[in-house]
Amino acid sequence: MSVQAARGVSFVSEDRGVLAMPTSLPVEETVFFTGLTRRNFSIQSVVSRLWSGPLFAAAMPASSGAVEVAMPVVQLEFLDDFNMPSEPIWGPLTPGQLSGLMFDSSLKKFLSVSDDRFDSTNKKSRGHPRYYTLSISVSQNSQTGKMEITLSDKFESTYLVDKKGDYIPFENGDGEGIVILPNGNLAIATEGQAEQGSKVEDRLLPLTSSSIDEFDRNGTWVRSYPIPSYYQPRFDMKGKQTRGVFRNNGFESLTIAGDSIFTATEGPLVQDGGAVTFERGGFTRIMLLKPKHGMYSPVKEFAYPVDAIPFPTSWGTDKPEGGENGISEMIALDENTLLVLERAFILKPYFRNHIRLYQVDLREATNTLGQKNISKDVRSVKKQLVLDFEDILPRLKPNEVQKKPVGNLENYEAMAFVNLPDGSRGLVIASDNNHNPPNQRQVFLLFRFKN
């Protein structure tokens, strides 16, 4: 299927209720519209609508209102973990590559987007872009009082399609985050395709920016949200990337609080320094979108300081080689406070993941929206460590397939709130197994908020 992945849009002034960019930047170079079809877009033709109705119960973060008081750093208590049986125990359609998670109180189930994309030449590919409806239960053991998390083998798959009913193509299908919108539809963040000359099944893939798209509950595309053009990958005549998200480091998260949607690139944009190294970190970008005229549009953007790739001394003294670090997921505590999951991995001297959870305060950070390059005097968000996952590694259950103790953290990249049986609030963190069992597992961690 031939799909146009981008379209232009002109924005009118701030007093017309539409996002205005700094006058020092050309309008057409400031906003890039990602989408799944080519069509003309007129701001004047968009009918304004009110996003109304209650958010979905206590599993949704509350709006902070007008009060701006610093939230104390949360404390988490690890309760339990569940290893999803890997293929072929549940069969080839076993949910996998889970990259986003959210509780739907209307269904009493969880929705999870998969970053799997159909490629008949890849043995790990299981199907077209999709989201799952999962039955994750949390119960309290009547004998021990211990909280336990389990996943039922009863699940549903909903494939993502365009208006014609065709599957979303490979370059637009790397789903990494999912939220339920106030109107009942779903917003899904995708990383895009930023590798020049990349092919799938002998088809040359177009370059596509990271995107946020709205779908109805049947998986049908509704609309795309505007994304600044400096996220779009650009290359010079020699094939060197000069701008935009780089390969596999686009939008990796999506969360909602009140009428605010947040997303973030996994790693810094190319013009902001590119991938972090063992020697230096960098600034990735957190974007805030608000509803205007029936869709969400960017209103602010913040610089987030990503750590250099960690290599704890407890891992040995060999010089590490190859790896990345970046944001793999976020979840909003309120409209000013996020929990941000940083996931790092190294390739040598052995493959190892390092996962840390930070609490982030946005209130005093510079608004970088419209800055093609983050300025040197930018004031970044403030972050504080909540949990280093190395601290819970000894408590995790062994690999049920390989029958050996856990020696490495999994590829965690999904988070969702959950209400616990005792009335307290919990947090579920899930891993992406890349459909690569038994080396990588689909694991669900359960925590309780202590404060």
Q: What is the pLDDT of residue 43?
A: 27
Nearest 5°: the CA angle 94, 97, 223 is 110
> Nearest CA to 333 among 32, 47, 75, 144?
75
- Residues paired with 337 in a beta bridge: 361
Sheet containing 260-265, strands listed edge to edge, beginning at the edge strand earlier in sequence: 251-257, 260-265, 282-292, 295-306
Token representation of residue 71: 């939230």
Q: Domain boundaries in the chain?
A: 72-449
Name the β-bridge partners of 443.
Answer: 83
Regions of the chain with pLDDT less than 50 = 1-67
* Three-state secondary structure readout of 45-72: HCCCCCCCCCCCCCCCCCCCCCCCCCCC
What pLDDT was estimated at residue 86? 65
31's tokens: 């906003």
Q: Decide: 177 and 263 in contact? Cβ < 8 Å.
A: yes
CA-closest candidate to residue 147, choices 444, 440, 451, 441: 444
Q: Please, are residues 280 and 309 in contact by the beta-carbon 8 Å criterion?
A: no
Identify whether the C-beta of residue 413 lies closer than 8 Å to the C-beta of residue 432.
yes
Token pair belonging to 222: 């509704």
Residue found by looking up tokens 């840390």 in the block: 356
Name which of 128, 135, 134, 111 is nearest 201 in CA terms: 128
Are the beta carbons of 332 and 264 closer than 8 angstroms?
A: no
Return the structure tokens found at 26.
């050309």
* CATH classification number, 72-449, choose in 3.40.50, 3.10.310, 2.115.10, 2.40.160: 2.115.10
| Residue carrying structure tokens 């601290």 | 391
User: CA–CA separation, 215 vs 162, rounded Å?
Assistant: 9
